[in-house]
Chains A and B, each alone.
Chain A
């Protein structure tokens, strides 16, 4: 069964600090992995999309890594800001007959003063 697991479930950090969110998946065959940011009450917004040939991708202060061999990804947030408080969702797309998107349950990040 295709699954995406994220850790931690929730995280509280001080403004200005860095943090790393984890995503492990079992989707096979693999096509691409996405990270989304979702503010409370709003639709998710795409941060990065990576295919199996990409190891690292950045979007401003967000850097995603992908290890397709171990089926792991991480999202690193640098110099956090209060506006980073949101849920971060890892989504994996399979290839061929497994082409549906499989969503993780997300990590809820709270950035405090």
Chain B
């Protein structure tokens, strides 16, 4: 069974640009969550999608957005990039939403975004 895949693995952008990251969950999983990880802040929750609907949202500005497609694949978009957006972006998939019970989350390898 294939794991969670994320593309691209590495990305370099300049300030002001926008970026789209992609996440393909494990087959059968309907929940996809996105996280930002920086050395100083640890893992920060961005948002969670379940069956194409955003279920939860973290405390990030509106420049961060996402969506989920009917096949459960998800994309995350960051517009008007800032230097502080440089981070490892992780997505995780699970059978159901975190609020629905103790469902295990499986993380992808992440996309390393560098903003110059």
Band of interface residues on B: 20 to 34
Q: Which residues of A lie under 8 Å from residue B4 when comparing CB positions?
A: 43
The answer to whether B44 touches A103, judged by C-beta atoms less than 8 angstroms apart, is: yes
The smallest C-beta distance from A34 to any residue of chain B, in angstroms, reads: 8
Q: How far is the CA of A105 from the CA of B38 in the complex (A)?
A: 10
The answer to whether B92 touches A32, judged by C-beta atoms less than 8 angstroms apart, is: no
The answer to the question of A85 belonging to the interface, with a C-beta cut-off of 8 Å to chain B, is no
The answer to whether B45 touches A31, judged by C-beta atoms less than 8 angstroms apart, is: no
The answer to whether B110 touches A43, judged by C-beta atoms less than 8 angstroms apart, is: yes
The answer to whether B92 touches A43, judged by C-beta atoms less than 8 angstroms apart, is: yes
The answer to whether B42 touches A49, judged by C-beta atoms less than 8 angstroms apart, is: no
The answer to whether A100 touches B42, judged by C-beta atoms less than 8 angstroms apart, is: no
The answer to the question of A79 belonging to the interface, with a C-beta cut-off of 8 Å to chain B, is no
The answer to whether B45 touches A106, judged by C-beta atoms less than 8 angstroms apart, is: no
The answer to the question of B98 belonging to the interface, with a C-beta cut-off of 8 Å to chain A, is yes
The answer to whether A101 touches B45, judged by C-beta atoms less than 8 angstroms apart, is: yes
CB-nearest residue of chain A to B42 = A105
Q: Which residues of B lie under 8 Å from residue A89 when comparing CB positions?
A: 42-43
Q: How far is the CA of A44 from the CA of B3 in the complex (A)?
A: 13
The answer to whether A93 touches B98, judged by C-beta atoms less than 8 angstroms apart, is: yes
The answer to the question of A78 belonging to the interface, with a C-beta cut-off of 8 Å to chain B, is no
Knowing that A93-B102, A100-B58, A105-B42 touch, tell me 5 more A-B residue pairs with CB under 8 angstroms: A43-B110, A46-B105, A93-B98, A99-B55, A99-B98
